[in-house]
Amino acid sequence: MFAGQMGCEGLNFLLKRMIKGERPPRIKAKGYGMPSSHAQFVVFFCMYLTLFLLFRHSPHPSDTHTPTTLNERLLLAAWSFVFAAMVCASRVYLQYHTVNQVLVGSLVGAVTAIAWFGVTTIARRHGWIQWALESRELTMLRVRDLVVEEDLAESGWERWKNVSKRRHLGLINRTSAKTKRR
């Protein structure tokens, strides 16, 4: 998602310089207004989140939490769009953008999110994401695919339980645990 968001921002940078649409005349803001980067950013996020929650997220029960139901995921997606609409409306209300600039930004954000989700789905199916993650450069940067393979809350909890157990058994002390993490 982060790479897609950065790509969406780069696309906005290019579109603003190609279209050169002026901002509303009452505002003294810098830069071009078409398309609205705020609208593009927030709609990309909401659309990608929705696609992820509906098609890629596979909730599974664990010791620490109950998985989200489809209705809960739909509600989260709907709320994200409510907040996106508030951001978009504020851009027009504060006169940083026209309605058309916000609509175009929203459309570009939605299309970019759908395209990026498609690209990452294909890359995941063909093993290209795993291949890239196993590269020397990404391994050195400790880049991981936490989205599908690992439950962050559960893995953090398990890691903490293991260190706590080892500390209780006297196998490590507090200072050595901190030193090893650095």
pLDDT of 172 above 90: no
What does each C-alpha distance from 38 to 43, 47, 115 come to in angstroms? 8, 14, 19
pLDDT at residue number 99: 87
DSSP annotation of 111 reads: H
Q: Which two tokens stand for residue 71?
A: 């209705």
Task: Compute the distance between CA of residue 21 and CA of residue 102 in angstroms, rounded to an integer.
Answer: 12
Residue 31 region by backbone torsions, left for phi larger than 0, else alpha for psi between -120 and 50, else beta = left
With CA atoms as reference, report the closest residue to 86 among 11, 63, 94.
94
The mean of the pLDDT values for the chain is 78
pLDDT at residue number 15: 74
Task: Compute the distance between CA of residue 139 and CA of residue 141 in angstroms, rounded to an integer.
Answer: 5
Contact yes or no for 19/32 (Cβ under 8 A): yes
pLDDT at residue number 59: 66
Query: Is-above-0.75 flag for pTM?
Result: no
- pLDDT tens readout for residues 1-55: 677 777 777 777 777 787 777 777 777 767 777 788 888 889 998 999 898 888 7
pLDDT of 139 above 60: yes
pLDDT at residue number 141: 84
Task: Compute the distance between CA of residue 30 and CA of residue 27 in angstroms, rounded to an integer.
Answer: 9
Contact yes or no for 109/44 (Cβ under 8 A): yes
Q: Which two tokens stand for residue 10?
A: 């780069």
pLDDT band for position 85 (cuts 50, 70, 90): very high
pLDDT at residue number 96: 78
Mean pLDDT is lowest, of 9-13, 26-30, 123-127, 176-180, for: 176-180
Of 28-37, 66-75, 131-140, highest mean pLDDT: 131-140
Q: Which two tokens stand for residue 98?
A: 């026209």
Residues 124-135, mean pLDDT to the nearest whole number: 84
Residues 128-133, mean pLDDT to the nearest whole number: 84
- pLDDT tens readout for residues 102-117: 898 889 899 999 998 9
- 2-19 and 99-125 helices, crossing angle to 10°: 140
